[in-house]
Amino acid sequence: MARFLVTAGPTREALDPVRYLSNRSSGKMGYAICDALITAGHEVVLVSGPTALESPANADVLQVESAQEMHEACARQWQYCDALFAVAAVSDYRPSAAQSQKIKRVNDALSIELVANLDIVKDLAATKGERLVVGFALESENGEQHARQKLESKNLDFICLNAPQAQGADVSELTVFSRDTKWQVGPCTKATLATELVEVILENSNV
């Protein structure tokens, strides 16, 4: 039995007390992977951004909101885990400063300075040693090229490529890459997709 760290859902980056930057991730894929890993007999720590989903049974669940909060939670847990599924759709950027009061409409245009968030999966993979790291890539163009680049640049063992239409969908598919192999999983429901993905990863790794 191994202990898996799984990230899921979106992050929210505050603009002011009532607004934030986020994305369309529902968290369904990450939560389904948690269920599949637990069914396979493993322990799971789930670090989840805001979703409308019920927490997976028998997982240790940590709820976070921002990318920084997700990174801090993952960094605390990673030392106790054997593998990582980085499924969350983490915001690449955040406002350089969140306003303490609601931003008022005073002009026809508003400029907001954004700064980059830390790349969570890359940061964790840098210290993985012999542990397993599986990343996810959502691409709207040149998907395989970008996925393979991320596989190498982020020091991942596997990367799972999907498309924008996967966001919030109940049926989806993945193309999974390792350094030298490619698998097609789905299309099928996300519950079945997660089960088949976990089988592919576990059959082709040392976990």
Catalytic residues, by residue number, are 23
Q: What are phi and psi of 185, to 5 degrees?
A: -125, 125
- The H or E element that residue 45 is part of is strand 43-48
| CB 49, CB 10: distance < 8 Å | yes
Cα–Cα dist 115/117, whole Å: 7
The 10 Å Cβ neighbour count of residue 35 is 19
Residue 165's SS3 state is helix
**Tokens describing residue 25:** 């991730």
Contact criterion met (CB below 8 Å) for 43 and 3 = yes
Task: Tell me the H-state helices in 14-66.
Answer: 28-39
What is the residue-wise DSSP string for 186-198?
A: EEEEHHHHHHHHH
Q: How many helices (H) and strands (E) does the chain have?
A: 5, 12
CB 27 within 8 A of CB 107: no
